[in-house]
Amino acid sequence: MTQLKERLRQAHHVVALTGAGVSAESGVPTFRGEGGLWRSHRAVDLATPEAFARDPRLVWAFYNWRRELLGPLSPNPGHRALAAMERRFPRFTLVTQNIDNLHQEAGSRNVLELHGNIWRVRCTRCAVTSEDRRVPLPELPTCGVCGGLLRPDVVWFGEALDPEVLERVYEGLRSCDLMLVIGTSAVVQPAASMGLYARKHGAFVAEINLEPTPFSSMLDVSLLGKAGEILPRLVEPEAA
């Protein structure tokens, strides 16, 4: 912790990558393991373009349920600490695998969403995106521009990440002098190897997670614990 605090004091450009572990502390389900079921369906089987093409009503019912779960949830101390970091450093880039918008609700402004946002919709015909926080949405919501079927503006299994978002992410990884990898299991690419990429380009990389990951031993620092407990300690003022 002391070494990381000292590095943060010297940093000019910080990149933070957050995964499901950060949102889990606010009560967001991770859909991993035995509990990852909804109406006897595996959640990962519904989050695909094929599932949406086959039964859009079922997929929208799943996402409406997820939106109902997320609606009452609030950012936790980890989210708020990252928003405070953004105000502190000359450059701060927040990259998230989460789709819940909790970083923005905590006050973060420069957020790069790798997997989209559950509170946005995208037209399957004209590709227009817009925010829509209605809960629930109509059973089959349609586009106000062209009348096409709307889908959640999230990245499903089998879909490519937004190349413009990725380019901005990798520009940050190449130019940062410190990176925080927080609450990610380090199994989903390309996010899993971003810490190593930043370290290869000269950054000091620290991992904050409940348990070690496959990359823990390859990074500069690995802190075990809750993001909501560790991150506030990194931004609190030093005692005189």
Does 16 reside within a domain? yes
Assess whether 111 and 224 both reside in one domain. yes
Q: Which residues contact 127 (CB under 8 A, 6 or more apart)?
A: none
22 in a known ligand binding site? yes
- The HSE-up count of residue 124 (CA atoms within 13 Å, CB side) is 12
102 in a known ligand binding site? no
Domain region containing 48: 33-72+123-154
Assess whether 65 and 167 both reside in one domain. no
Cα–Cα distance between 60 and 43 in angstroms, integer? Answer: 12
Considering the entire predicted model, what is its pTM?
Answer: 0.92
235 in a known ligand binding site? no
Amino acid at 65: W
Assess whether 94 and 205 both reside in one domain. yes
Task: Determine contact, residues 125/146, Cβ cutoff 8 Å.
Answer: yes
- Confidence at residue 37, expressed as pLDDT on a 0 to 100 scale: 60
Does 8 reside within a domain? yes
CA angle centred on 238, ends 235 and 172, rounded to 5°:
35
What CATH number has the domain bearing residue 167? 3.40.50.1220
100 in a known ligand binding site? yes
Domain count, the chain: 2
178 in a known ligand binding site? no
Assess whether 175 and 230 both reside in one domain. yes
User: Token pair for residue 40?
Assistant: 């006897």
- Confidence at residue 41, expressed as pLDDT on a 0 to 100 scale: 80
- Confidence at residue 236, expressed as pLDDT on a 0 to 100 scale: 82
189 in a known ligand binding site? no
Does 240 reside within a domain? no
> Residue 185's closest CA among 24, 71, 27, 69?
24
26 in a known ligand binding site? yes
Assess whether 67 and 170 both reside in one domain. no
Cα–Cα distance between 55 and 143 in angstroms, integer? Answer: 18
* Residues with catalytic roles: 115
Domain boundary among 105, 139, 154: 154
Cα–Cα distance between 148 and 11 in angstroms, integer? Answer: 47
Assess whether 127 and 223 both reside in one domain. no
- Confidence at residue 161, expressed as pLDDT on a 0 to 100 scale: 97
Assess whether 143 and 37 both reside in one domain. yes
Domain boundary among 154, 172, 206: 154
Assess whether 186 and 225 both reside in one domain. yes
Assess whether 176 and 58 both reside in one domain. no
- Confidence at residue 240, expressed as pLDDT on a 0 to 100 scale: 37
Does 101 reside within a domain? yes
Assess whether 148 and 216 both reside in one domain. no
Kind of pairing between the strands at 91-96 and 13-18: parallel
Does 82 reside within a domain? yes
Assess whether 216 and 101 both reside in one domain. yes
**pLDDT one digit per residue (tens) for the chain, 240 residues:** 889 999 999 999 999 999 999 999 999 987 654 455 666 788 778 999 999 999 999 999 999 999 999 999 999 999 999 999 999 999 999 999 999 999 999 999 999 999 999 999 999 999 999 999 998 898 899 999 999 999 999 999 999 999 999 999 999 999 999 999 999 988 788 998 999 999 999 999 999 999 999 899 999 999 999 999 999 999 986 543
What CATH number has the domain bearing residue 146? 3.30.1600.10
Assess whether 22 and 89 both reside in one domain. yes
Does 219 reside within a domain? yes
